[in-house]
Chain A
């Protein structure tokens, strides 16, 4: 066996070590990514399982308790809704019809207790309809409130 082969073979043991590390780490830190419909259907079987899902924010459902720093809201995907509870502050872009990615665990009431709430980086899907946009609308509204 040439020295080249020996060196390459011994260096390859690093690869084996990395693969072993992957195999150990994968089940230890895995969860499920599911659509809301599937979460609702199989809620009973998901206890203790780390879940990732996403949906459009339903703005009217947002509720905020400043003293407890608790944020609750609903998201909807393909007509199915899921309630989310989050002990943290609302991220930017947290507005109607924006995709919200949530990660966490389902509680007894079928509410997702989120560890992380993220909004998608806005690109092609954001924004109101161009026809409806009126840059003065917010000021008019504020003036009327005053």
Chain B
């Protein structure tokens, strides 16, 4: 086993180097045999990475404690699912998973039907191989998941997996985030390859579109599932805490969002070429930067991995890729400036997209600034100055609000030049209804400016999108005489890209609704006797009893709390503390009674000998909409890339021709 594991890693490293060399020489000499050899190596790397990953899963599943990684993250009494997810619980295993995804994406691009006979392929795969080589280097020489204990020092039992990680979030969050992170290598490789080949048309943009949306959708899922996990995990600061590591995955999400909008201007008007290339390069570099933050432990973060020298390697690779990207971009700058289109009007879809891009990039910079400020301040003044949650809330609230406002306008504003009539027809009714919403919210007693403005803007965005759906359906009905349902369905299906995008917008609107609403939370910390009641918002809770039960090897202590809402019984909640067989401290299972209006969130923190128990009780309004909106967002992005005949044709490559492909 040890030999197979080590061999698969070292051979993977060797073949990655070989593939890159054969591609580079093959490109230079225009030798198809070398290119084919490189492609064969890319496939072999994927097979080897699959072998390594499967083997480590097998070792984890069978509790083979000869291997340091297995002993560090599992124990014999751990449920099988958590033995397996321990694959990404630590540095070496998660790096192997990263390498596996890289190898998978590399093989998918190299052997994609759509890339067949395309001279860009060897260039694209070469760029991706740079990453593969780096990760294999780390696995081979810095953090090898197949390292074993010396003979005679093999432990009888493993350390187990921390209870905080024994959560469904652990199954989904890292894997989706990695698929998003690693996925951004693909559009980056397309962009750099087009620059190297001096292919200045929008071909790479169209070819990379699906890859970008897939990576973006996974990045979204990763962030949201992470937020959902943190929401139920006591001590991680709720669904979003502006932690450096959370910020690290939010920044590329912002820049890719900007890219997905501005790229439409390039496709339509052949503008913003440098901007789009820069955005995709920045997005990729931000993933490396984020990985550096997570792995180096340079910032104080709830989510940091242990400190070690691995961060240095990431910093070196990050610096190398920054310089390489900059050099290639600058060397082609003169070509990119040619044949660029013009804005026709200050008031047009193009201008609103540009504004959206600037705000998104400004938001990225604000998050970046807040994240790295401790390092900058230490370098300049010698002391680490932190900017906390208030900073991010102060800066990001108006930025995100402005984005939602733009999101409300963009779909309905005309390309080229919007007329006053166009604006009046599209926005008058949504604006009037939004003002009515403002009046209703004010009448409900909300007086703070931010929520009033936020809910109004959110309503406006929702309404403009509904108007767009209605107008599209009506226009189709006029031509086809179909009934409303058929016309709506056909409209959506035939323009999946456009309406998928609008569904994504609806998801963002719902998320914003949930975030603004959740700020009206109420919290109580109390210690109660059995039989005591407490009131919070429109709830009355009665602490009835404290009991214990056994679940497998674990002991669970739970409180039974009867819940009344507005005077009516609505059942019980049972917050728990779980005592794991192999862990000193119990872990909390938060009881969440979730409705579309609010979450009743109850934590059993501790208890005394006389059964008095301490509870943290929150009423968090509208939080469900964050998860609902996220699901809508992901479904919208998948709908936008759904295959089929309409609008999904593969463009023909029209750049410089090469003999090899």
Contact = CB atoms under 8 A, between A and B. Distances in A.
B391 A26 contact: yes
Given A32-B383, A33-B374, A89 B157 contact: no
Nearest to B526: A69
Nearest to B143: A124
Nearest to A31: B386
Interface in B576-593: 579, 581-585, 587-588
Interface stretch (B284-292, B392-400, B453-461, B486-494): B392-400
Nearest to A57: B585
B76 to A, nearest CB: 7
B582 A11 contact: no
B75 A133 contact: yes
B162 A126 contact: yes
A61 B162 CA distance: 22
B388 A12 contact: no
Interface residues of A, number: 64
Nearest to A125: B306
Contacts of A66: 527, 606, 608, 612, 614
B385 A33 contact: yes
A34 to B, nearest CB: 7
Contact of A15 (B237, B362, B581, B587): B362
Contacts of A130: 65, 71-72, 155, 157-159
Contacts of A95: 583-585
B145 to A, nearest CB: 12
Nearest to A51: B386
B362 A7 contact: no
B358 interface: yes
A136 B553 CA distance: 9
Contacts of B366: 18, 21-22
Contact of A92 (B155, B233, B305, B384): B233
A54 B525 CA distance: 25
A32 B384 contact: yes
Nearest to B605: A89
Interface stretch (B19-27, B110-118, B296-304): B296-304
B311 to A, nearest CB: 13
Given A93-B162, A130-B158, A29 B391 contact: yes
A64 to B, nearest CB: 7
Contacts of B333: none
Contacts of A81: none
Contacts of A6: 346
Contact of B157 (A67, A117, A119, A133): A133
B390 A89 contact: no
Contact of A138 (B164, B359, B390, B581): B581
A95 B160 CA distance: 15
Contacts of A123: 89-91, 305-306
B603 A3 contact: no
Nearest to B587: A92
Which of B373, B394, B525 has most chain A Cβ within 10 Å? B394
Nearest to B68: A130
Contacts of B271: 4
B646 interface: no
B583 to A, nearest CB: 8
A119 B343 contact: no
Interface in A16-68: 18, 21-22, 25-26, 28-34, 50, 52, 54, 64, 66-67
Interface in B190-234: 233-234
A4 B159 contact: no
B616 interface: yes
Nearest to A3: B343
B527 A69 contact: yes
Nearest to A130: B155
Contacts of B156: 131
Interface in B135-192: 155-160, 162-165
B342 A92 contact: no
Nearest to B342: A4
A7 B390 contact: no
Interface in A74-103: 87-96, 101, 103
Contact of A90 (B76, B303, B361, B605): B605
A129 B159 contact: yes
Nearest to B528: A66
A145 to B, nearest CB: 13
A14 to B, nearest CB: 5
Given A66-B608, A123-B90, A130-B72, A93 B300 contact: no
A67 B527 contact: yes
A89 B603 contact: yes
Contact of A135 (B76, B89, B233, B387): B76
A120 B302 CA distance: 4
Contacts of A129: 159
A7 B354 contact: yes
A103 B399 CA distance: 26
Contact of A2 (B76, B162, B342, B384): B342
B317 interface: no
Given A22-B366, A118-B235, A127-B159, A101 B398 contact: no
Contacts of B71: 130
B351 interface: yes
Nearest first, the 3 A-B pairs at minimum CB distance are: A91-B235, A127-B159, A122-B162
Given A124-B72, A126-B162, 9 more contacts: A4-B340, A6-B346, A15-B361, A33-B386, A66-B614, A93-B162, A124-B308, A134-B157, A135-B160
30 contacts: A7-B343, A7-B346, A11-B358, A29-B388, A29-B391, A32-B385, A54-B300, A66-B527, A66-B608, A92-B164, A93-B162, A96-B584, A101-B300, A103-B388, A116-B237, A118-B302, A119-B164, A120-B303, A121-B164, A122-B164, A123-B89, A123-B90, A123-B91, A126-B162, A127-B72, A129-B159, A133-B160, A135-B76, A138-B581, A138-B582
Interface of A: 2-4, 6-8, 10-12, 14-15, 18, 21-22, 25-26, 28-34, 50, 52, 54, 64, 66-67, 69, 87-96, 101, 103, 116-131, 133-136, 138-139
